[in-house]
Amino acid sequence: MSIAVTGASGQLGRLVAEGLLARVPAHEVVLLTRDPARLADLAARGAEVRVADFDRPDTLPAAFAGVRRALLISTDAVGDRIAGHVAAVRAAETAGVEHLAYTSVTRPEPTNPAAVVPDHAATEEALRASGLAWTLLRNNLYADMQGDALASAIASGRLVTNAGDGATAYVTRADCAAVAVGVLTGEGHEGRAYDVTGPRAWTAEELAGLASRRGGRPVEVVHVDDAAYAAGLASVGLPAEIAGLLASFGASAREGYLAAVSDVVATVGGVEPTPLESAIDG
């Protein structure tokens, strides 16, 4: 049974690839990437590496040829990735892939203000409209990315947020990868949408408390609106589009879209979910 992973040279893709190589024979693992050279080490271990570029749909049919199950990892071109995702879904269907899993986002509903929602919602709809069996992996925000924010809060004594009293169930990339591997190598996941979360949801006040304990000094929570939060991020050098994206996640948390906690990491991924405290230590 061949199992393919798109975006296999990315951070999440590599973790999934490693998980598959630990579970199934290497010759059954097909790694798709725009740049095969970046996966030379995994090719040397027996995985098959193929070119797949979502901006070049002509590369996709051959990339999925002979594959039975696949993971479609969403690209990072926020706002400009629907066409590539849909092309990948269609190519997988044409190639005879039986089951396609997709990395989506928590609650991709029209009212969710997270800027990534339209892309994910459109891709989910394309999957449902296809003839493929599908699984939706709705990953919460990455815990791995919170270390810098907490370090900044410790240094300044201020945790600036637009999340209000909303909570976020941060999850590590490694735990998301474990769930993906569980779906790709297991049974009974067709037609399921899984919320992939960490073991608890954190409010800004709780994050400030964690920062205070880590830094040995008080950390004050400073609540601002979305525009001020984005402006603050831009003022320290973040591109405006990234600042706006991060502000939209704060708004999503504030409105309650990121707070639900699930047991999917344990029940599907087969591992205990990683606490945020451990994730930022890593």
Beta-carbon contacts of 222 under 8 Å, excluding residues fewer than 6 positions away, are: 158, 159, 160, 161
Counting residues of the chain whose pLDDT is more than 70, the rounded percentage is 100
Confidence of residue 282 (pLDDT cuts 50, 70, 90): low
Q: What is the pLDDT of residue 258?
A: 98
Q: What is the pLDDT of residue 78?
A: 86
Q: What is the mean pLDDT of residues 107-136?
A: 97
Residue 30 to residue 67: CA distance in whole angstroms: 8
Q: What is the mean pLDDT of residues 122-148?
A: 96
Query: What single-letter DSSP state applies at residue 25?
Result: -
Confidence of residue 80 (pLDDT cuts 50, 70, 90): confident
Q: How many residues does the chain have?
A: 282
Helix (H) or strand (E) holding 220: strand 220-223
Which domains, from first to last, does the chain contain?
Answer: 3-140+171-196+261-271 (3.40.50.720)
Half-sphere exposure of 22 (CA within 13 A, CB side): 10
Nearest Cα neighbor of 183 from 133, 121, 122 is 133
Query: Token pair for residue 245?
Result: 């994206």
> Could you report the per-residue pLDDT of 146-198, keeping only the tens digit for each?
999 999 999 999 999 999 999 999 999 999 999 999 999 999 999 999 999 99
CA distance readout (Å), 118 to 6, 20, 111, 130? 21, 30, 10, 18
Counting residues of the chain whose pLDDT is more than 90, the rounded percentage is 95
What is the side-by-side strand order in the sheet with 192-196?
Answer: 48-51, 29-33, 3-5, 69-72, 99-105, 133-139, 192-196
C-alpha dihedral sign at 190, 57, 31, 118:
negative
Q: What is the mean pLDDT of residues 107-133?
A: 97
Q: What is the mean pLDDT of residues 26-47?
A: 97
Q: What is the pLDDT of residue 48?
A: 97
Q: Which of 95-99, 112-116, 144-148, 187-191 has the lowest mean pLDDT?
A: 144-148
Nearest Cα neighbor of 246 from 226, 266, 265 is 226
Q: What is the pLDDT of residue 233?
A: 94
Q: What is the pLDDT of residue 99?
A: 98
Residue 131 to residue 121: CA distance in whole angstroms: 18
Average pLDDT taken over every residue of the chain = 96
Residue 141 to residue 243: CA distance in whole angstroms: 15
